[in-house]
């Protein structure tokens, strides 16, 4: 084992830089060189490599984003493109590849492994946290903090003006970010892709009216996962405004959720997973994700990470539904 | 002078609470009682008053929003409503009224003074900072910081993914927030209501293409004031994406700009203005705004604050236009 | 079960307010009243009770500290004082008591249970995180974030001035906070109470000299747990300055580690534990702590939480020792 | 004018990077090259120069510290050292020098000008804000925000535990940081170098006792400038604890005040001053500081900046003394 390559792929996630640092510093002690390709899989195909030395890693852990740059690259599903990547890796003398990214990136990693005989290891880095086999992915915790910090600010103006806000959080097809944000922000309602059936417009409107009746001066916050309601957050706000005759303000949080200094938890997770990825390679693993489950580092077949749906923690879902709006929706049980 | 009333009116602004604290603590030393009406002018009309004592003010300065609640209340333009307010103030024994708010609130204050013979004083509190006669308004500095903190986060993901973002900031009809955010965030372009003529779509598209050519890996950020482009930030992003064939991502910052802990500068300004408002009342002023110009507290006729347009600081506009994108748009002068 | 009492005790921890909210809202649905005693055990003895209703809980989750106030109260070790507390609880008709706090508070809870026949439940709330039987305590995650945010700032000035900083973090007898902060901040060295043997002054000085030789322009940060070195952080800084002839700056982080908005993780944990405490009481548990281990809520005999030493996660200790200063202390393994 | 050199000197201040960006981008348009010397004056003497191009400046504005590194360098007072610097500047073909720093750095700049015939311009960058002729210096506003953010956190734990904290802020011989922090944090007392006479121990103790009597549950915060009380913050805390028999906790804020992302205000100020420094050089100025007074850029003889004492704004001092502790020290005036 002389040279390991690393890429960051798909949507960037805070903590990716700390992960690369752990990879580089660990490999260096083992006498292994690390090379990074910029812009994920596309960078492999285009040969955009750069050697990375521990000296370069002194001050990267606290930075958001990824200094290696990332990219979405759907073309990598094609066999000819993956073969090109395999040839480039061979030409560069790479003995193993570490892919830090989400489910699309892991499909790419697995696809590559059909055409490249060397070891491929995935490290979960996605604010969506939707990879099966790991409790958490790098960037998720920071994204939740980013969202909640923004919602806390919105809560202050909402409270001052007695307003209803519909706040759209990221998550594409997964409600992890929405669920954690809703609990932490003590939201009055949440709408996540995994909830079945979704609350009806009528129920939501009733709830808002009840809240307004009980707390005419108060704020009301709905957390909505993106891509969920017809017309998104603007559609829902309009529907609810009509149904309740109370102005409901749409507020998409947008890309600030993705950026920013990684919090301590993400840096620590990233450091653990980075070091463990080198260990896994040295012990011969391939086509595996290095994840974190029940407070321990685990290895999971990479095909399992994206082929099975990862459910929300039902106890957290129940927790939020049980506590949200308890003071205007239910009677004291006694 | 036995009793002074205070309201916060219009959009809430961080620092309003620190201002109320200064009013209450200053008045108390003079033996004057302070009463607050909740929800701005509407609260006067509806008689929603509460006495405020210094003991209640111990921990409010660091809070965003306004504990007195605010509201927009266009009905107050009507004479009969203003007369009702005047009667309520008299019935409550109020000797003077302090209105913390923006231009709409000051119009309301002036309107009231036609029907109420007692003193009315305005304190500028608006994140738009569009009041003539004061360099700054309470909340403006914090709103700029809130916007720039969000843009810094977006910059990190933009840089990681080599993306173009069109970021919409608040400001309604004034570009102060946009201008300050653009300079502080080192934005590549800005579009503000006061700029005449606006940059054309073609010019903007050219600029983005030049930047992409010079920095294919780099981010590009446009600051756009709200209500400015047809279709807003989504319209501009779509137009630019088409014109450049580079995906331009829309990102409205939304209400988080308005919320959050006031920064130190806003708390200090709010404290100064609050104390000075009491002094102004004691010295007999009325129908005046207590503002801040050239680093000193000033008194300005309230009618002047909203009847004249407040220009942007042209030297700041020139500064941003001169520095933005200098490295891809202009040749080294030598 | 008609009435449950709750106290926050010992050093305050961010997230305690979110925990009380969960307790109150959960109990309310079961028809149980919640009463809070201010200032921990002292408040019970002095009868400082106040009923708490879900309506009071709308906006407390995002606040640091504890609105119920906390206190250290060593007198509670005395039998007569505990008996007084038991009598007060009986006089107030309390059916069960929830104690949110750390090891001293849990000793108090257990002590009380000798003289009071009703149920007593503990919820771990301590930034030291030194309670056996729970992976995390409320407040720990936020305290780590607070520390790391401060260290990130110090890193910037340290880097600008090429300085060595000795940074003292809280933890009394436990190195959890120091360990997590060291990893997240990519510290060059750490000194924790659990490390045996401690690094010698000579080794630390050698390390600093090596770092300075390799990176004459660079910063160097030592994380030191409080109460550990003779003379504390000032003593160590002086010793190292003498030994290395390089000025080493002492920097105790102090109480800002304890304060501040709880992060999302602490609010979620606090909400889970608060709800589970009510469930535990309803299912008849007593003299137990409701903790969190391997990502699940657990019940642990309260006597076990403070009678056994809780070890640091050795894999994290090894991780930090392996990565810290790798670029100036070890040769490339090849 | 072909080549201008820039250094950052003395204690680093957040915003210095944004200032360098403005210098570089402005100069580039004029066809002037910018060269930076690392580590301030020492770097000139040692010839540690590096050319700086606008392309390097894309992402520096939001960073704290100074990428050019800074240093304290008392040796520069010697004539032979200054002559060496002058020779090095000539050897490097430098036509003008910009020094970003505080009073010590400006003394150095003036000292250099005795031995070097080219233009020297100072830009105020110091969190102490103690330079005569400019209302604000780069870094001051951010340092106040850093301090107040930390004090807000300490306020929360102080309030939860009903504690007295003595908080030491930076400032060496100037109370600007302490004064602004005290007002913004609504401190109960402040001790600054400029106040004459200082409050006596007896008065401070009386005040704390009054506060405790009025608010037995409440917090009490004293802001103390560094280097002021015998034994510093620990000495004062001990003296007050003895005098009041109430534990007073010392809390030095330390170097986190200096670090961190510059706030928007400092970035804007830094950008204005950087551009204006180039203009000043092109118009022939030398031995001048480019400052900011009454909301306008001004030029001030550099010798005036450090030879006259800059007073605190007395209206702000009066404001704080008038409002602090009004609710436990004075009677309602009526």
The model's pLDDT over A60-91, given as tens digits with 9 standing for 90+, comes to: 999 999 999 999 999 999 999 999 999 999 99
Confidence class for position B284, pLDDT limits 50, 70, 90: very high
Confidence class for position B329, pLDDT limits 50, 70, 90: confident
Would you call D268 and B316 a contact, using CB atoms and an 8 Å cutoff?
Answer: yes
Would you call B160 and A38 a contact, using CB atoms and an 8 Å cutoff?
Answer: no
Would you call C217 and D162 a contact, using CB atoms and an 8 Å cutoff?
Answer: no
Contacts of A25 in chain C (CB under 8 A): 322-323, 326-327
Of D57, D144, D268, the CB nearest to B183: D268
Nearest CA in chain A to B154: A256
Residue A91 buriedness (CB in 10 A; 0-12 / 13-18 / 19+): exposed
User: Chain C 282-301, CB below 8 Å of chain A: which residues?
Assistant: 293-295, 297
D interface test, pick of C65, C148, C157 with most D CB neighbours within 10 Å = C157
Using the Cβ of D172 and the Cβ atoms of chain C, whether some distance falls under 8 Å is answered with no
| Catalytic member of A12, A128, A130, A266 | A128
What is the rounded CA–CA span in Å between residue D2 and residue C97?
77
Residue D57 is classified by DSSP as G
Of B38, B70, B153, the CB nearest to A146: B153
Using the Cβ of D218 and the Cβ atoms of chain C, whether some distance falls under 8 Å is answered with no
* DSSP code per residue over B82-147: HHHHHHHHHHTT--EEEEEE-HHHHHHHHHHHTT--SEEEEEEB-TT---TT-S--BTHHHHHHHH
**Mean pLDDT on D137-164:** 97
Q: What pLDDT does C333 receive?
A: 73
Q: Which residue has the tokens 């720039």?
A: B148
Percent of chain B with pLDDT over 90: 93
**Mean pLDDT on D152-181:** 96
Which sequence spans correspond to the domains of chain A?
3-139+262-307, 142-258
Predicted confidence (pLDDT) at residue D333 exceeds the cutoff of 90: no
Predicted confidence (pLDDT) at residue A165 exceeds the cutoff of 70: yes
Return contacts of B226-232, CB within 8 angstroms, 24+ apart: B226/B168, B226/B169, B226/B170, B226/B171, B226/B172, B226/B252, B227/B172, B227/B173, B227/B193, B228/B191, B228/B192, B228/B193, B228/B198, B229/B191, B232/B168
| Span D83-100, pLDDT tens digits | 999 999 999 999 999 999
Contacts of C272 in chain A (CB under 8 A): 315-316, 319
**Mean pLDDT on D187-211:** 95
Class of domain D143-258: alpha beta
Confidence class for position D334, pLDDT limits 50, 70, 90: low
Predicted confidence (pLDDT) at residue A334 exceeds the cutoff of 70: no
Contacts of C270 in chain A (CB under 8 A): none
Phi and psi at residue B128, in whole multiples of 5°?
-75, -25
**Mean pLDDT on A151-172:** 96
What is the rounded CA–CA span in Å between residue C190 and residue C203?
12
Whole-angstrom CA distances from B223 to B13, B190, B320, D260 are 21, 5, 11, 24
- Range D3-139+262-307: architecture per CATH: 3-Layer(aba) Sandwich (3.40)
Q: What is the mean pLDDT of chain D?
A: 96
Q: What pLDDT does B328 receive?
A: 86
Residue D334 is classified by DSSP as -
Predicted structure pTM score: 0.97
| Catalytic member of D128, D135, D145, D266 | D128
Predicted confidence (pLDDT) at residue B325 exceeds the cutoff of 90: no
Class of domain A142-258: alpha beta
Residue B287 buriedness (CB in 10 A; 0-12 / 13-18 / 19+): middle
Confidence class for position A172, pLDDT limits 50, 70, 90: confident
B–D interface: beta-carbon pairs under 8 A: 178
Return contacts of D238-243, CB within 8 angstroms, 24+ apart: D239/D201, D240/D164, D240/D166, D240/D201, D240/D204, D240/D205, D240/D208, D243/D201, D243/D202, D243/D204, D243/D205
Nearest CA in chain A to C218: A58
ipTM of the complex: 0.97
Using the Cβ of C181 and the Cβ atoms of chain D, whether some distance falls under 8 Å is answered with no
Nearest CA in chain A to B72: A161
A–B interface: beta-carbon pairs under 8 A: 120
What is the rounded CA–CA span in Å between residue A46 and residue B263?
47
Using the Cβ of D212 and the Cβ atoms of chain C, whether some distance falls under 8 Å is answered with no
Q: What pLDDT does D217 receive?
A: 94
H or E segment to which residue C151 belongs: helix C140-161
Confidence class for position A330, pLDDT limits 50, 70, 90: confident
C184, β-bridge pairs: none
Chains in contact with B, where contact requires at least 3 CB pairs less than 8 Å apart: A, D
Q: Is D128 a catalytic residue?
A: yes
Alpha-carbon torsion (D318, D320, D326, D330), positive or negative: negative
Q: What pLDDT does C334 receive?
A: 67
Q: State which residues of chain C have pLDDT below 50.
A: none
Of D39, D146, D154, the CB nearest to C259: D154
What is the rounded CA–CA span in Å between residue D312 and residue B17?
25
Confidence class for position D332, pLDDT limits 50, 70, 90: confident
The count of C-alpha atoms lying within 13 angstroms of the C-alpha of A110, restricted to the half-sphere facing its C-beta, is 16
| Span B44-90, pLDDT tens digits | 999 999 999 999 999 999 999 999 999 999 999 999 999 999 999 99
State the smallest CA–CA distance between residue D221 and chain C in angstroms: 13
Q: What pLDDT does A308 receive?
A: 74
Q: What is the CATH number of domain C141-258?
A: 3.40.50.460
Would you call C332 and A294 a contact, using CB atoms and an 8 Å cutoff?
Answer: no
Residue C48 · residue C85 · CB < 8 Å: no
Predicted confidence (pLDDT) at residue B135 exceeds the cutoff of 80: yes
Predicted confidence (pLDDT) at residue D29 exceeds the cutoff of 70: yes
Using the Cβ of D69 and the Cβ atoms of chain C, whether some distance falls under 8 Å is answered with yes
| Catalytic member of B12, B103, B128, B145 | B128
* A142-258 and A3-139+262-307 share a CATH fold: yes
Predicted confidence (pLDDT) at residue A3 exceeds the cutoff of 90: yes
**Mean pLDDT on D61-87:** 97
Tokens of A174: 């997964």
**Mean pLDDT on A267-286:** 98
The catalytic residues of C are: 128
Using the Cβ of B206 and the Cβ atoms of chain D, whether some distance falls under 8 Å is answered with no
Q: Which residues have CB under 8 Å from D68's CB, separation 6+? A: D6, D7, D8, D16, D20, D36, D37, D38
Predicted confidence (pLDDT) at residue B178 exceeds the cutoff of 80: yes
What is the rounded CA–CA span in Å between residue B164 and residue D87?
47
């Amino acid at each position: 084992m002389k040279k390991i390559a690393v890429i960051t792929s798909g949507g960037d996630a805070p903590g990716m830089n700390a992960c690369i640092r752990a990879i580089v510093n660990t490999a260096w002690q083992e006498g292994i060189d690390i090379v990074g390709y910029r812009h994920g899989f596309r960078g492999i195909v285009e040969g955009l490599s750069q050697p990375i030395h521990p000296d370069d890693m002194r001050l990267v852990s606290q930075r958001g984003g990824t200094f290696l740059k990332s990219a979405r690259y759907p073309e990598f599903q094609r066999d000819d493109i993956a073969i090109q990547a395999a040839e480039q890796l061979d030409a560069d003398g790479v003995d193993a590849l570490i892919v830090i990214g989400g489910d699309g990136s892991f499909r790419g990693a697995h696809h590559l492994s059909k055409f490249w005989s060397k070891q491929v290891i995935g490290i979960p880095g996605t604010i969506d946290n939707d990879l099966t086999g790991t409790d958490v992915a790098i960037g998720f915790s920071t994204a939740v903090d980013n969202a909640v910090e923004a919602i806390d600010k919105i809560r202050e103006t909402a409270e001052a003006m007695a307003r209803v806000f519909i706040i759209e959080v990221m998550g594409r097809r997964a409600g992890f970010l929405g669920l954690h944000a809703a609990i932490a922000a003590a939201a009055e309602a949440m709408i996540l892709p995994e909830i079945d059936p979704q609350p009806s417009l009528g129920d939501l409107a009733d709830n808002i009216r009840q809240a307004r009746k009980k707390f005419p001066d108060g704020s009301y916050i709905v957390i909505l996962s993106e891509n969920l309601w017809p017309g998104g957050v603007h559609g829902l706000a309009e529907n609810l405004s009509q149904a309740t005759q109370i102005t409901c303000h749409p507020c998409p949080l947008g890309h600030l959720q993705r950026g920013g200094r990684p919090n301590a938890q993400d840096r620590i997770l990233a450091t653990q997973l980075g070091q463990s990825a080198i260990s896994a390679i040295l012990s011969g693993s391939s086509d595996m994700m290095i994840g974190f489950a029940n407070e321990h580092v685990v290895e999971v077949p990479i095909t399992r990470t994206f082929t099975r749906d990862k459910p929300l923690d039902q106890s957290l879902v129940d927790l939020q539904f049980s506590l949200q709006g308890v003071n205007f929706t239910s009677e004291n049980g006694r």
